[in-house]
Amino acid sequence: MGMVVGGVVYGAVRQPINNFVKGLTGNMAFNLSDEIAMGLVAWLVARRSSGMVKQAALAGLAIEASRIGSSFKLGGIIGTTASPSFSTSSTTQNIPFSAYQH
């Protein structure tokens, strides 16, 4: 239950903290500056806090890690993202039974 409440708290404070951090970081490489900066903030807060504040920071760290991970295009590594297509045409030929008799 603490992780859920921590996630709610993190979600409530993320945008104001994000606005502040964006002013400091600008636009870093890979267009992930937001996630990297917020993950770093969450990690620092988690290391230096306890109780509900620590739970919120840990939830934030998991959220930012997930956002970074979702930016990777891993379809080719862990499986295809496209649905398989199946042909409805038959590849067999109609061969009369007499052709098999010797």
43 in a structural domain? yes
Residue identified by tokens 């098999």 is 100
Q: What is the pLDDT of residue 86?
A: 46
Structural domains in the chain (count):
1
44 in a structural domain? yes
Rounded to whole angstroms, how far apart are CA atoms 44 and 41?
A: 5
All residues at 6 or more sequence positions from 17 whose CB lies less than 8 Å from its CB, including other chains: 38, 41
pLDDT band at 49 (very low <50, low <70, confident <90, very high): very high
The larger pLDDT score, comparing residue 1 to residue 77, is at 1
Domain that residue 13 falls in: 2-70
78 in a structural domain? no
58 in a structural domain? yes
Minimal CA–CA distance to 19: which of 41, 34, 36?
34
